[in-house]
Amino acid sequence: MEPLNQLVGAVWGEIKSGKSTLALTWDKPLVHLDFDQGFHRAEPNFAHCNIVKVPRDQPIESYLVAGADIITKPYQMPVKWGQTLTGYIDLWNVVVNDLRATYESPLVKTLCIDTGSVFWNLRTGAQLEKAQQRNPSRTRLQQIEYGEPNSDMRAMLGACRTYNKNLITVHHVGGVYEPKLTAQGVEEVRVGDTYAGWTQTGALVDVVLRTHKMSKNGVKPQIDVEILTCGLTLEAEGVKVPNASFDTLLCVINSLREPNG
């Protein structure tokens, strides 16, 4: 069986569990879209890399240069005052242009969206701002209005395969809710954890990962990962990978895809 050398994935976990650090181990050159503006926390782990930092007000296309290992750009989410949204549409248009340049660049092997949770909030915020321009009293999207954001997310994930790129999206922790009978009646009650963001992400990526960070006997903490779902081989689901990275995850998945693996 031909070994895999590309991976489309999503990773989530608690704060400071190494999500961004893991994502930045993906194949280089890598473009990091920093919606949480937290690259500086992971940066010390990549002192061996040639890092190019794109100013917030500059298009990423001008910085896709040969020799760069990691190209990172921060995005400042608009401040929400009350119920009226402004700036979401403008920022989304900037992001779309940066995505297009990243996918079309032959220099780039991996796109990292950090975090996919904020990325989804930006896209739905742009949709709500558009609705408010027509009707200022609107405070939320109707179900039918999620069609365009859903289509854009599918396009973003599908483009990585069209352009032969790796993709890793980082996510905050979200909740799993179920209707439960309470003293107040039937309510949606949180019954577990999952990734926060676009709910269809898990069905379209190759793997969904959860990070767990451990420290042993004063040694520098390592990032331990559990493979929650894997569309490449069901044998990988539930497997825990110590001191995980892009290379070790590929190695585990490839070994389990083998007929006698």
pLDDT in tens, 219-240: 666 889 999 999 999 999 999 9
pLDDT in tens, 139-188: 999 999 999 999 999 999 999 999 999 999 999 999 888 888 777 788 88
C-alpha to C-alpha distance for 247 and 17, rounded to whole angstroms: 19
Residue 161: predicted pLDDT: 92
Give residues with Cβ within 8 angstroms of 61, minimum separation 6: 97, 98, 101, 105
pLDDT, the chain, mean: 92
Domains within the chain, CATH numbers bracketed: 8-257 (3.40.50)
Task: Identify the residue whose tokens are 């991996």.
Answer: 110
Task: Identify the residue whose tokens are 């760069």.
Answer: 68
Residue 217: predicted pLDDT: 53
Query: What is the percentage of the chain residues whose pLDDT exceeds 90?
Result: 79
Q: 10 Å Cβ neighbour count for 229?
A: 17
**Is the CB of residue 39 less than 8 Å from the CB of residue 32?**
yes
Q: How confident is the model at residue 261 (pLDDT cuts 50, 70, 90)?
A: very low
